[in-house]
Chain A
Amino acid sequence: MNLSLEPITLEPPRLVLEKPLLEAHKLNIYYGKLHVVADVSLELYRAEVLGVVGESGSGKSTLLRLLNLQEDVDSGDYHLAIEGYKANNLFALDRFAKREVQTRHIGIVYQSPHLGLRMHASSSGNVAERLIIAGERRYSALREAAKSSLAASEFPLERMDDLPRKLSGGMQQRVQLAKAIALKPELLLLDEPTTGLDVSVQALVLDTLKRLQRELGIAMIIVSHDLGVIRTLADRIMVMRHGQVVELGLADQVLEDPQHPYTQQLVHAKL
């Protein structure tokens, strides 16, 4: 027996060493008397995918809009471990700083391309706009960046100068995706990205998302009511109902052994 006598260095797991990319604490939002997001706290690590499921009206999309700094919060704070803003509660930033964080560090894909795209501008223009906002003033550079970003989201490049309304639903989502990743954000928010697409196109878009996530190491939050989509992508799952988080755990754990009665119902309805 040749036992090595070298001391073994034990390292704690990565998730213990690393600080999460996103930390949100006790987010609350009211629409009048309606408590739309109630005491939601969440953490997200780099390169992790969090799936958010729940019925419609459960506050999923509102939560996503909050995280994209589109909506004002009633209470709670929100931190992203990004350059220059590590110590800031992002909700407390002024309009300019919010826009800066939004464009440079967060990408978002909406269910409806009308929300995410400018329909009168070409597809490549939609992607280039992000770079324009970030200060790029060379036409050739804008062109190249739009091209590479569209290629990364597997958009057919011969159609890069077509208006989005002439494109199919799946292509429109790819343009949105290209726009979202154009500035290599740390966080990608996906709001029902494949709802409304037929199943085969849905599978292709999910494939692209998965590949991008692997290659770029972006942290993602994906909101969907479709457990199939969540199952394909998510590492962890958060179940929401009436604005509250009713269950949070690893994807397999939640799907195979749901604890909360609502989650049980949800999983059984699907499977």
Chain B
Amino acid sequence: MPLKSLSHPYQGYSYAFLDEAAKRELRRTILKSIAIPGYQVPYASREVPFARGWGTGGLQATLAIIGPKDSLKVIDQGDDDSVNAANLRRFITSMTGVSTTTDTQKASLIQSRHRIPEEILDTYQTLVLQVPMPEPLRSVEKSRAVAQQMHADADYGLMWLKLYEQMVRYSQITLGTGYPSLVHGRYVMDPSPIPRWDVPKLHQARHLTILSAGREKRLYAVPPFTEVRPLEFDDIPYRVEDQKDWHCGKTGLKSKFMNELPKDDGSSSYEISDSGYVEKYLRQKEGESIRFAKPYYDDDGKFYRDDVFRELKDD
């Protein structure tokens, strides 16, 4: 028997681009981050053929856990078709041969930049979020060493002071994205720049969320069924973006997270940010039978929790 028949055929790259040692390290990092929810685990961020800041962290996490049977969805700001998403999707499929989908329901692995889809994710699904700046304390403490000690001490007074200052100055909390949230009652995390609209989706979520920052070389996770509470004063409830009167121009739906499109006459039209959801909805309208999961928000803006839709502030 010739030696050649016993070995693998030659491949230019190992499966999923990263070498086995790198994937092994990433998997161990992911396990650790799941074991300590919200804790930022450092890892050796490898070189990938993308520039830092274009989802290299999320990409590495995806490549480490993807398998041939996975079905992949890549989104960028809710959109399946934007350049960043298309590039990442093409790269991942060429390196792994997995099938891709734009249907949230059918995806087992979703890599996303800045959004969580509108349909409720389930236990069989994993969400990988690309994170530019993992350190929630950076805006209040410039030294990373000091910030690490503050995390160790659960000393988040400065974070609350920041909220207090915003209340004093603007009479409301003006943090738009990456709202600092307390995970499992222990670590405050920056949930990547997802809008406030998406933060409640992480609380007691059925899916696993992995947040990975390639440039900053840190990875953290929200395991399924974990407490994620946005920091809020007891007498000032957490608010999501007020888009009550916004209707999607394509579908006529409301109470989904919208993009605002400025028009020539100075007014605006709106469009649901989750393009996969729009696509499914339009196909269903044309008569196709489409399976939808329950949405996180119903048409009145009530949030789905414990089998019922309820006002977020009663949550």
Which residues of A are at the interface with B, using a C-beta cutoff of 8 A?
95-96, 99, 118, 121-122, 124-125, 128-129, 132-133, 137-142, 161
Contact = CB atoms under 8 A, between A and B. Distances in A.
Interface stretch (B196-204, B231-239, B272-280): B231-239
Interface string B167-194: 1110000000000000000000000000
B168 A122 contact: yes
B153 A122 contact: no
A122 B233 contact: no
Interface residues of B, number: 15
A139 B233 contact: yes
Contact of B165 (A96, A125, A140, A141): A125
A182 to B, nearest CB: 13
B161 A129 contact: yes
Nearest to A133: B157
Interface of B: 153, 155, 157-158, 160-161, 164-165, 167-169, 233-236
A139 B234 CA distance: 7
A125 B235 contact: no
A133 B154 CA distance: 11
Contact of B236 (A99, A128, A139, A161): A139
B234 A118 contact: no
A96 B161 contact: no
A133 B235 CA distance: 17
A122 B165 CA distance: 7
Given A122-B169, A129-B158, A138-B234, 7 more contacts: A99-B155, A121-B161, A122-B165, A125-B161, A128-B164, A132-B164, A138-B233
Contacts of A137: 160, 233-234
Contacts of A142: 164, 233
Contacts of A95: 153
A21 B25 CA distance: 55
Most buried by A among B153, B164, B235: B164
Contacts of A122: 165, 168-169
A141 B234 CA distance: 10
B268 to A, nearest CB: 32
B170 to A, nearest CB: 11
Contacts of B236: 139
B174 to A, nearest CB: 15
A148 to B, nearest CB: 16
A169 B10 CA distance: 75
A139 B235 contact: yes
Contacts of A96: 153
A36 to B, nearest CB: 26
A132 B157 CA distance: 6
A126 to B, nearest CB: 9
A48 B150 CA distance: 35
Nearest to B152: A95
A129 B167 contact: no
Contacts of B234: 137-139
A128 B233 CA distance: 13
Contacts of B169: 122, 161
Nearest to A146: B164
Given A138-B233, A139-B235, A118 B167 contact: no
Contacts of A121: 161, 165
A52 to B, nearest CB: 30
A129 B233 CA distance: 13
B232 to A, nearest CB: 8
A138 B235 CA distance: 6
A128 B165 CA distance: 10
Across the A-B interface, give the 8 residue pairs with the lowest CB-CB distance, nearest first.
A139-B233, A133-B157, A132-B160, A138-B234, A138-B235, A137-B234, A132-B157, A129-B161
A125 B168 contact: yes
Contacts of A129: 157-158, 161, 164
B167 A139 contact: yes
Given A125-B168, A161-B168, A140 B235 contact: yes
Nearest to B160: A132
A125 to B, nearest CB: 5
19 contacts: A118-B161, A121-B165, A122-B168, A125-B161, A125-B164, A125-B165, A128-B164, A129-B157, A129-B161, A129-B164, A132-B157, A132-B161, A137-B234, A138-B234, A139-B233, A139-B234, A139-B235, A142-B233, A161-B168
Contacts of B167: 139
Contacts of B160: 132, 137
